[in-house]
């Protein structure tokens, strides 16, 4: 295809987006139209701005109701929630943790900080999550079972856990994944950082594994400014999460003591206050994001070569990031399209750099990653914030 054609394609792509979003649209902006100011003011008025705050307890209670999780623990980021999850689920030094390579960097970093090793796995096109069938074949060939543990034949290390991720808010294939995890004795830590408000067969993502992780970063579906959460049905894990995320404090009369290594990972009240207000409007926000998907779909359907990614069957996705998958011909135009749209003030961007290609992660174990490598060339994220519809 000639440069002329490239330019034409970029112009067509841009004109589709500009029919849906106005100038200066970001990839994802938060929206505040509820009780945020009122609750933050209450925090300031009562001085309970830090981690000991009624708003932290309230956010946890409300999230248990919304997600159906038995317990929830509010933390200061999704990344710290991932790190705690690895510790709490019993991942030990020098063990391996399976993690999709098409991913945000947090899970690989959390694994390394927990003194374990990431082991990169492939994704499927249907959900953009773990390719369970391919992984089963890989594990069958490359692992052995001893004392009910899964050992990597090559490294002789225990493969202890798997961190499936719900990419751009779309639920991964949880049914097959949970069967595989059971068959290979893998602990499941669901990275549902992008999936707040997404449901797999009417059950909120993050509630299927031993532990689920949510993120409330400023770019997520709802936000606390910065924040995260652990979801679990295990009381012991929830109690320990609360304890070690507060520096393992043991308070006796006036004396503050500490009984084990701890972390300063708890969510401050002022952030939880924003979260409580945001959660009150989550369904309005998701309704807007789903409407935005329909508007894009209507426009992109008219043109060949661009496929707007749609929620998997039996799922209710939050459509966190709207996603175009280019076809085999168009993938060579990805960078030109993105450049053109950004120059024309409509933010678009490629997917994250695949984790196994990041310099400090290249040395870790991996399976064949052909699907992720192909998808990496084809994905374009579009402006996706709820304010596009609601303002």
Please identify which residue in 85, 89, 101, 106 interacts with ligand PLP, judged by CB under 6 A. Answer: 106
- Alpha-carbon radius of gyration of the chain: 22
For ligand PLP, which is the closer residue by CB, 9 or 351?
351
- Using CB under 6 A, pick the residue from 79, 221, 281, 371 that binds ligand PLP: 79
Residue 331 carries which DSSP code?
G
Does 69 bind ligand PLP (CB under 6 A)? Our answer is no
77 near ligand PLP, rule: CB under 6 A = yes
- Name the residue nearer to ligand PLP (CB basis): 30 or 333: 30
Cβ-contact 285, 220 below 8 angstroms: no
Please report whether residue 224 would count as binding ligand PLP according to CB under 6 A.
no
CA torsion 290-295-297-300 (nearest 10°) is -150
Decide: is 78 part of the binding site for ligand PLP (CB under 6 A): yes
Query: How many angstroms separate the CA atoms of 87 and 110, rounded?
Result: 10
| Binding pattern for the stretch 166-205 against ligand PLP, x by CB under 6 A and - elsewhere | -------------------------x-xx-----------
| 84 or 165: CB nearest ligand PLP | 165
Closest separation in Å from C-beta 108 to ligand PLP: 10
Nearest CB to ligand PLP, comparing residues 106 and 152: 106
Choose the stretch contacting ligand PLP; rule: CB under 6 A; options: 50-58, 77-85, 295-303, 336-344. 77-85
Task: Please report how close the Cβ of residue 130 comes to ligand PLP at its closest, in angstroms.
Answer: 13
The answer to whether the CB of 79 falls within 8 A of the CB of 175 is no
Integer Cα distance of 173 and 175 in angstroms: 6
Q: What does 224-247 look like in DSSP terms, one character per residue? A: -BS-EEEEES-HHHHHHHHHHTBT
- DSSP for 50-84, please give it: SSS-HHHHHHHHHHHHHH--SEEEEES-HHHHHHH
CA angle 279, 273, 89 (to 5 degrees): 75
Q: 60 vs 191, which CB is nearer to ligand PLP?
A: 191
Closest to 342 measured CA to CA, from 9, 14, 55, 3:
14
Find out whether 84 and 128 touch, Cβ atoms under 8 Å.
Answer: no
- Cβ at position 283, least distance to ligand PLP in Å: 22
Question: Which residue's CB is nearer to ligand PLP, number 16 or number 192?
Answer: 192
CB of 84 to ligand PLP, least distance (A): 12
Contacting residues toward ligand PLP, per CB under 6 A: 77-79, 104, 106-107, 165, 191, 193-194, 215, 217, 228
């Amino acid at each position: 295809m000639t440069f002329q054609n490239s330019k034409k394609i970029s112009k067509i792509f841009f004109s589709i987006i500009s029919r849906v979003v106005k100038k200066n649209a970001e990839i994802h902006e938060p929206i505040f139209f509820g009780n945020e100011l009122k609750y933050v003011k209450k925090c300031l008025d009562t001085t309970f701005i830090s981690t000991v705050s009624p708003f932290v307890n309230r956010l946890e209670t409300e999230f248990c109701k919304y997600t159906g999780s038995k317990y929830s623990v509010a933390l200061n980021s999704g990344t710290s929630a991932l790190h705690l999850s690895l510790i709490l689920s019993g991942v030990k030094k020098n063990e391996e943790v399976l993690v999709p390579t098409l991913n945000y960097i947090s899970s690989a970093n959390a694994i390394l900080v927990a003194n374990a090793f990431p082991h990169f796995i492939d994704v499927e096109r249907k959900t953009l999550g773990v390719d369970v069938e391919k992984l089963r074949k890989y594990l069958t060939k490359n692992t052995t079972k001893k004392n009910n543990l899964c050992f990597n034949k090559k490294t002789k290390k225990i493969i202890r856990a798997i961190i499936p991720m719900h990419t751009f808010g779309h639920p991964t294939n949880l049914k097959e994944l949970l069967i595989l995890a059971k068959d290979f004795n893998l602990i499941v830590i669901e990275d549902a950082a992008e999936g707040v408000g997404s449901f797999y067969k009417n059950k909120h993502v993050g509630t299927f594994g031993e532990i689920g992780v949510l993120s409330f970063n400023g770019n997520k579906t709802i936000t606390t400014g910065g924040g995260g959460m652990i979801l679990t049905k295990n009381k012991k894990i929830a109690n320990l999460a609360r304890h070690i995320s507060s520096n393992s404090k043991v308070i006796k009369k006036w004396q503050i003591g500490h009984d084990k290594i701890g972390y300063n990972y708890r969510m401050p009240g002022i952030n939880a206050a924003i979260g409580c207000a945001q959660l009150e409007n989550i369904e309005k926000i998701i309704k807007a994001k789903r409407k935005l998907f329909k508007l894009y779909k209507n426009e992109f359907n008219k043109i060949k070569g661009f496929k707007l990614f749609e929620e998997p069957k039996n799922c209710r996705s939050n459509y966190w990031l709207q996603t175009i998958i280019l076809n085999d011909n168009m993938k060579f135009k990805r960078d030109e399209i993105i450049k053109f749209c950004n120059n024309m003030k409509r933010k678009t961007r490629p997917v994250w750099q695949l984790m196994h290609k990041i310099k400090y992660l290249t040395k870790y174990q991996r399976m064949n990653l052909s699907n992720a490598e192909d998808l990496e060339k084809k994905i374009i994220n579009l402006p996706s914030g709820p304010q596009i519809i609601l303002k």
